[in-house]
Amino acid sequence: MNKNDRPTDIGINRTGIALSPLDGPLTAEGASAAPPSSAGSWQDAAMVRLRYAAEASEFGHMPPPATLRGLAKTAKELLKGHKANVLLDKLGERLAFERTGVRLYDGLIVKFEANGSWEGGPTLEELVAFRSDEARHFELMVQALVKLGADPTAMTPSADITAVESLGVLQVISDPRTGLAHALHAQQIAELADVAGWDLLASLSETLGHTELAAECRRALAQENLHAAAVARWLKAHAEVAARGELEQAVAS
C-alpha cells in the first residue's frame, strides 16, 4: 500500500472510546463518580505558571556587538543603537529557518522518491527547485549578517525560538511511516511562517534604512509566496483525488 493513500484507508485505529463498548463506559462512569482530591480548576495550575513567569529570566540574549572596524560609514550609522539588535536577531532567525528549510526539502525529496506523487501533486523538479531557493535564501542571510559585521554562526534568540517551533514539522517529515501528503502538510506550516517572516524582515529593513536588503527580502518573499501557494495547491489536489477514490490509480500512473 502506498503511504500517500494512508489518510483515507481504514485500519484498526483503537484510540477512540467507541472501540471499547464494554470498558469505555466503565472508564467514563468511574471517572465521573470519583471526586477529585482537591477543589479548584485548571486555573490553579495557571496561577503557578503566572508566578513562574513573573520570576523567570530571559532564555538567552544577542551576542555582543560586532566590531565596527572595517565597516562602511553608512553601515556603521545604520547599526547604532538598539534597533541594530532587533534587525540582527531577525536576520539570524531567517538564516536559521532557511538553513533548516533546506533540510526539510531534503526530507520531502526522500519522501517523494519513496512514495511518488499524485495528479496535481509536486514533481521532483519542483521540490529540488524549492530546495535551491531555500539554500539561496540562507546564503543571502549569511552575506547580510557578514556585511553588517555580525557572526552568522551565532544562534540568536529568535533563531532558537523558530527552531523549537519547527520541531514538529521535522518530526513529521523525517518519519518513514508518513506519506508525502502528511509531510507537505507539515511543510505548509513552515512555508506560511516563512512568508510572514520575510514580509516582516522586508518591512523592518526598509524602516531601518537598509533599502538594498529590503529589496532582496522582497524578492525572497515573492519566492516563498510561490512555495506556500504551491504546497497549498498540491495538498488540495491530494484531498480531491483521494476523495474521488482515485488516489491509488493516480499514484500508480
DSSP output for 91-142: HHHHHHHHHHHHHHHHHHHHHHHHH---TTS--HHHHHHHHHHHHHHHHHHH
Report, in Å, the least distance between residue 103 CB and another protein. Answer: 16
| Phi, psi dihedral angles at 185 (to 5 degrees) | -60, -40
Q: With 0-12 CB in 10 A as exposed, 13-18 as middle and 19+ as buried, what is 54?
A: exposed
Dihedral sign, Cα of residue 159, residue 163, residue 169, residue 173: positive
The radius of gyration of the chain's CA atoms, rounded to the nearest angstrom, is 24
Element (DSSP H or E) covering residue 235: helix 211-243
By C-beta, is 5 or 139 nearer to another protein? Answer: 5
Report, in Å, the least distance between residue 247 CB and another protein. Answer: 20
Under rule CB under 8 A, residue 45 binds another protein: yes
Report, in Å, the least distance between residue 175 CB and another protein. Answer: 5
Which range in 49-57, 90-98, 192-200, 212-220 contacts another protein by CB under 8 A? Answer: 49-57
For residue 195, the Cα-to-chain-centroid distance in whole angstroms is 10
Instruction: Identify residues 10-29 at the interface with another protein (CB under 8 A).
Output: 11-17, 19-20, 23-24, 26-28
Size of the site for another protein (CB under 8 A): 40
By C-beta, is 24 or 81 nearer to another protein? Answer: 24
Do the beta carbons of residue 153 and residue 66 sit within 8 Å? no
Do the beta carbons of residue 117 and residue 246 sit within 8 Å? no
Under rule CB under 8 A, residue 1 binds another protein: no
Which range in 41-49, 114-122, 203-211, 221-229 contacts another protein by CB under 8 A? Answer: 41-49
Under rule CB under 8 A, residue 114 binds another protein: no
Under rule CB under 8 A, residue 215 binds another protein: no
Q: Which residues bind another protein (CB under 8 A)?
A: 11-17, 19-20, 23-24, 26-28, 30-32, 34-52, 171, 174-175, 177
